[in-house]
Copies of this chain bind each other. A is one copy, B any other.
Amino acid sequence: MNIYDVSAKAGVSIATVSRVLNGNPNVSDKTRSRVMEVMNALGYTPNVFARGLGLNTMKTVGIMCSDSSDPYLAHAIYYLERELRANGYDSILCCTGSKLINKRQYFELLLSKRVDAMILAGSKFVEIDSAEDNNYIIEAAADLPVMLVNGFLDAPGIYSTVCDDRDAMYQVADRLIKSGRRRILYVYTSHSYSGENKKRGYRDALAANGIPVRDDLICQCGKNIAAAKELLISLADSGLDFDAVMTSDDSLAVGAVKFAHARALDMPKDLAVVGYNNSMMSYCTDPEISSVDTKIEALCITTVQSLMQVFGGGDVPRKTTIAADFVQKQTTDI
């Protein structure tokens, strides 16, 4: 079943069938509808390979992420896939694993599939310490659009959609301070583009309120519940005093709630806890954790819309910023 069968049955040439297939306007309405009828009657679907060979496009974009089982990225994949499909594009997925080993090889593997664009989901793909490690991305962007979801790299052909993490954290810290908290602990997991922005928001808010930024109140921690709980216990044991915990990820906030339970601290009275990403986890604890909704759906929709504009030759800003929303639940009163 191919284009010849259709053309024979419809009494036209294969070129005309191809034109109908591609929505070429140079076909009379009469011919078009006749061809379409035949295609339906025969249940014809064009062969993607032959199509790709001719058009040299697969109508497919590559999505790279570190670990699709991370709740945040899982949502991102879901929304990206949905939006791409709505625009007639398939997505081929490639997860590098949370260690991000061989991310460059994976990237090139996906490129070799002749994808029409690349979407890198998550801020971890952009190296903020060794800029030259991003060169392979910058080079690739010369050939095809590269979209970053929650990452930023300033180079032609690379388009970023980011959440305003700095502002979100600034607002959270500012409101905590205005409600009387003075010793706000900041616990974060990763040293990344968004990670640095979050930290900056925290610092800026303290500075703006005339509160000295103390390094001993800024701690790094593995991205898991137990590690966060243990960290807070050992900090408290060592005599550190704090009345609020801000975290860069909900999992850390869950650990903070467990710490509060272990010490019989009342939340939010004795300790305010704020998570990040407003994931399912933040709804599991008792009390539920106030968190920052980073608008992952909006981020993904915007990313795909920008991509479509890039495909259409439109002028797209290299960076689009989307505001986050603080979601007040039970571990704060701000």
From residue 35 to 58 of chain A, which have CB atoms closer than 8 A to chain B?
A: 45, 47-53, 56, 58
Query: Which residue on chain B has the smallest CB distance to residue A93?
Result: B93
Q: Are the CB atoms of B53 and A50 closer together than 8 Å?
A: yes
- Check: A131 CB closer than 8 A to any chain B CB: no
Quote the shortest CB–CB distance from A98 to chain B (angstroms): 10
- Check: A77 CB closer than 8 A to any chain B CB: yes
- Check: A178 CB closer than 8 A to any chain B CB: no
In the complex, which range does the number of interface residues on chain A fall in? Answer: 35 or more
Q: Are the CB atoms of B91 and A47 closer together than 8 Å?
A: no
Residues of B within 8 Å of A334, CB to CB, are none
Quote the shortest CB–CB distance from A293 to chain B (angstroms): 14
Query: Which residue on chain B has the smallest CB distance to residue A262?
Result: B286
Q: Are the CB atoms of A78 and B82 closer together than 8 Å?
A: no
Q: Are the CB atoms of B68 and A71 closer together than 8 Å?
A: no
Quote the shortest CB–CB distance from A142 to chain B (angstroms): 15
Quote the shortest CB–CB distance from A267 to chain B (angstroms): 12
Of A14-22, A210-218, A233-241, A253-261, the one contacting chain B is A253-261
Of A151-159, A186-194, A277-285, the one contacting chain B is A277-285
- Check: A309 CB closer than 8 A to any chain B CB: no
How would residues 89 to 121 of chain A score, 1 for a CB under 8 Å from any chain B CB and 0 otherwise? 011111101000000000000001110000000
From residue 61 to 87 of chain A, which have CB atoms closer than 8 A to chain B?
A: 67-71, 74-75, 77-78, 81-82, 85
Residues of B within 8 Å of A95, CB to CB, are 78, 81-82
Q: Are the CB atoms of B283 and A257 closer together than 8 Å?
A: no
Which positions in A face B, CB cutoff 8 Å? 45, 47-53, 56, 58, 60, 67-71, 74-75, 77-78, 81-82, 85, 90-95, 97, 112-114, 225, 251, 254, 257-258, 261, 280-281, 283-286
Show 12 residue pairs from A and B whose CB-CB distance is below 8 angstroms, ordered by the A residue: A48-B49, A49-B51, A52-B52, A53-B53, A68-B77, A69-B74, A69-B77, A91-B92, A92-B93, A258-B286, A281-B281, A285-B285
Given contacts A60-B92, A71-B71, A82-B97, 10 further A-B contacts (CB under 8 A): A47-B114, A48-B112, A68-B77, A68-B78, A69-B71, A69-B78, A78-B95, A90-B113, A92-B93, A93-B93
